[in-house]
Amino acid sequence: MRWHSALTLLGGDGQIAADAWTELEHRYGEPHRRYHDLRHAESVARYAAEFAADPRVTLAAWAHDVVYDATPGEDERASAAWARLWLTRAGLAEEDIARVEALILTTISHDAPADDLLATALLDADLAILGAAPEIYNKYARGVREEYAKYPDAVWTPGRIVVLERMLANPRLYRGEPARERWEAAARRNLAAELGRWRSPGLDRQNVEP
């Protein structure tokens, strides 16, 4: 489901939807983005709609990284605020605005109540890249490292190792059964391979995922 369709299905103004989309496209096209760009948002929106056919999760998927300055927590809160601003301008009901905002905020911790099906759809879709073919995963990981280029390897490497170890220690990377069946095994292989390379001395940084 596209941004405009989702917004108008919820009763939003079509022209405001178009104006918001113009800004959204501009933001996702910022030159510092190497992975969190419009293609990522489109992928998340596509999978999220597949897992839960609800226009609110579609709007959250499109907007969840609309503000991205490689500042975890602040980026998600700013993206949620961006969504609230534009959805309010478009005339959506407060209930729907709050739901979209809350969904975006779940991407800070990547956690939500187990029975929140919309959050499950969004969070699993956001992690779809982990279960991609190795060459696609590697490209994603290099892109993220470039987005965090402000951190030298001496800072980035131990932090990335902790993130990878924590993810691999989780008994389930994906919340929903459809996502687990599709991506879990491949995601664990990709994460383990990346972790091994970051732990290796003499690492070739150009061919490693961050």
What pLDDT band is residue 25 in, cutting at 50, 70 and 90? very high
Closest among 126, 129, 122, 120 to 191, alpha carbons compared: 129
pTM, to two decimals: 0.94
State the pLDDT at residue 150. 93
Question: Packing angle between helix 94-109 and helix 74-89, nearest 10 degrees?
Answer: 170
The torsion angle over the Cα atoms of residues 35, 41, 43 and 45, rounded to 10 degrees, is: 160
What pLDDT band is residue 205 in, cutting at 50, 70 and 90? very low
Largest pairwise CA distance in the chain: 57
Contact 209, 194 (CB under 8 A): yes
Q: Which residues touch 72 (CB under 8 Å, ≥6 apart)?
A: 108
State the pLDDT at residue 209. 39
Question: Counting Cβ atoms within 10 Å, is residue 50 exposed (0-12), middle (13-18) or buried (19+)?
Answer: middle
Q: Give me 60's structure tokens.
A: 């959250």
Q: Tell which wins on pLDDT, 209 or 203.
A: 203
* Residue 206 identity (one-letter amino acid): Q
Distance between CA atoms of 56 and 101, rounded to whole angstroms? 9
Average pLDDT, integer, range 57-77 = 97
Q: Give me 90's structure tokens.
A: 């478009």
Q: Domain extents for the chain?
A: 3-126, 130-207
Share above pLDDT 70 across residues of the chain, in percent, rounded to a whole number: 95
To which CATH superfamily is domain 3-126 assigned?
Hypothetical protein af1432 (1.10.3210.10)
